[in-house]
Amino acid sequence: MKFLSCDWGTSSFRLRIVNLNDARIEGEHVNEAGIQTTFNKYIETGNEANRVKFYFDQLKKEIRQMSENLQVNLEGMLIVCSGMASSSIGIKELPYSDLPIDVNGNSVGLEYFPMSEDFDYSLLLVSGLRSSDNVMRGEETQLIGVVRQLENFSGNGIFILPGTHSKHIKVEGYKVSNFKTYMTGEVFHLMAYQSILSKSVKSNSNEKYKEIFEVGVKEGASSALLSVLFKARTNELFGRYSKEENFHYLSGLLIGNELSNLVEEKDSCIYLCSEGKLHPNYVIGMETLGLHAEVLPEELVRKSVIHGQIQILNQNINNEKNIFLGSF
């Protein structure tokens, strides 16, 4: 059995053909047609009465493009869609699920859209989570997928999901009990490209600046952030660091400040769930601060959304509503 995995983020769109039995990816279609871009197009139409239909029409275009590129028939398949598609700018805004929720996926908010004359696919839309003062959409599916792939998970731990808005998710007794959001990635982008500090940094990926990154981590973890941020300016003015070096110093400041909040949790089992460009920075950041974490393989993290969607499906296929019968 196969299904279409749709990970629809704010600024990205990812569609995959997935084998339900072994999570094997049999095809992929990726672009930058994220929820924000799609919502902007929807607003331009001025027809607010047909929001779901508009988004489904966009999905049909993407599926058609994928079908043509891969020379495969995708008609009638079930789509599992997570991320920002259930937000206020998505297909349909779904209410958040309140904490605590099980990490086995059986209590995540869902809405099922059966096939219709206008849409030749059935779609399962996954909602997000909320605490008393925080929200997430998309990371809940990642977390469920990460846990599904852990062989010896005790049911307790703190999961670090770096990103534009990093999430630190606390799991106790196999339930999400709390989580925090850190605007690390967004603040870095604002500081490096839109603030006065932009004149003192230059983007680069040179690994030889590791020691300077570590200096930033230590200072970000031990100093008042709003004060120490300005050192990225004076470092360049006084000739301490080049603009290229300062780029890594600034990154270290922000990641160090984020990770410093884990020091009080040092006796907990910490799982680092990172991939891509951010992965080495968070590994180094944790090592620099003496935080002992289980660094999960990047491939495991990359497949976490797929495994999360499969777990949610497995918990809901042929449930009391029998909503998925005939969807594969």
Give the pLDDT confidence of 85-106 residue by residue, as tens digits: 999 999 999 999 999 999 999 9
pLDDT value of position 319:
54
Does residue 159 lie within any of the structural domains?
A: no
What percent helix, strand, coil does the chain show, rounded to 5? 45, 20, 35
Distance CA 164, CA 302 (A): 16
Q: Are residues 62 and 94 in the same domain?
A: yes
Q: How many domains does the chain have?
A: 2
- Can you tell me which residue has the tokens 């973890």? 221
- Domain of 219, in residue numbers: 183-296
Q: Are residues 195 and 114 in the same domain?
A: no
What is the SS3 assignment for 291? coil
What CATH number has the domain bearing residue 85? 3.30.420.300
Q: Are residues 48 and 129 in the same domain?
A: yes
Does residue 193 lie within any of the structural domains?
A: yes
**Tens-digit pLDDT profile for residues 181-193:** 999 999 999 999 9
Q: Are residues 39 and 145 in the same domain?
A: yes
The token pair at 211 is 């020691």
Distance of CA 21 to the CA centre of its chain: 24
Q: Are residues 133 and 193 in the same domain?
A: no
Q: Are residues 290 and 310 in the same domain?
A: no
Please give the backbone phi and psi of residue 10, each rounded to the nearest 5 degrees, phi first. -60, -40
- Residue 69 burial class via C-beta count within 10 angstroms: exposed 0-12, middle 13-18, buried 19 and up: exposed
- Residue 117 burial class via C-beta count within 10 angstroms: exposed 0-12, middle 13-18, buried 19 and up: exposed
pLDDT value of position 221:
96
pLDDT value of position 304:
97
pLDDT value of position 328:
42
Distance CA 307, CA 12 (A): 19
